[in-house]
Each structure stands twice: as structure tokens, then as C-alpha cells.
Amino acid sequence: SSMLAVARAVAQNGGPKVEWHEASVHQMPFPNGTFDVILCQLGLQFFPDRARALAEMFRVLTPGGRLALSVFTAIERTPVAHALADALDRYLAPGASSIKRSEHTLSDGSLLENLVSAAGFKDVTVTSVTQMLRFPSPRDYVRLQL
């Protein structure tokens, strides 16, 4: 809800005209074939039932529609996230990092490709892209994560 409030505020200040809906990705309130494009940025790894979410995305796409999604790479390739997860386990309790580590569970390209294909998508392409994120300080990064 708070994310949608921010999005609505941006739209009111000269942003694009968009209709905002809050719904479960597992049961979207739209007819079959409603959308030409679906963008899921860093969300799939958080869905309780990823297969069902992808099947629902497939359902609401028009025939030939496109899905673009992004997921985090392996935590071992993300030094700051890896250090934070290790610190959570060391200073809070063993296993305290389980949620943080779960954000990186779709980093295997073949696993992701199989998951998307199983939902009905054709011509699935998985591409690895490296992005560098900068934070003013370690404290700012940790605040964002908590």
C-alpha cells in the first residue's frame, strides 16, 4: 500500500497516466490477455508460489506478450549482501539471515528458465546483467535492508 501511495503521488506530479491496482500476483483481478507487457523487477523471488505467480502472469498476457523480470544474483557474487547475511548469523543467531539469503535463490539461470518455461512462456532468454549500486554509507545500506 505504501509503495502505491508513492507511485500515485509521482503520477499526480506530472508522471504518466497510470491506473494503480493492489492485488495478489497469485490471483490477479484482470481478464485473460489484458496486458502486452509485464515487468516484474526484483519481485519473483519473494512470491510464496513462484510457479503459480508465473502462470498467472502468463494468463493475463496477450498472446505474444512479453514478460521481463529481474532477480538477484547469487549472494556469493554480491559482497555487501553476503557480508550482511554473515553478520546477521554471527551477531543475532545462526539462521538469522535466512530471509536475506532467500532473496538470491533464483540466481541459477537454468532454474529460472525452467520455471518460466513451465508456466507456458516460449522463447525464454535469460541474460546476466551486472549493476553497481552505491550507497552513501554502510549504515544507509543496512537501513534499506531492514
**Could you give all domains of the chain from N- to C-terminal order, each with its CATH number?**
2-71+106-145 (3.40.50.150)
Name every residue whose Cβ is closer than 8 Å to that of residue 72 and which is 6 or more positions away in sequence: 42, 45, 78, 81, 103, 104, 106, 107
Task: Indicate the SS3 state at residue 66.
Answer: strand
What is the structure's pLDDT at 118? 98
Mind listing the pLDDT tens digit for each residue in 50-60?
999 999 999 99
What is the structure's pLDDT at 31? 98
What is the structure's pLDDT at 58? 98
pLDDT of 5 higher than 90: no
Mind listing the pLDDT tens digit for each residue in 99-129?
999 999 999 999 999 999 999 999 999 999 9
- The mean pLDDT value of the chain amounts to 92
Residue 75 to residue 105: CA distance in whole angstroms: 8
Q: Give the global pTM.
A: 0.86
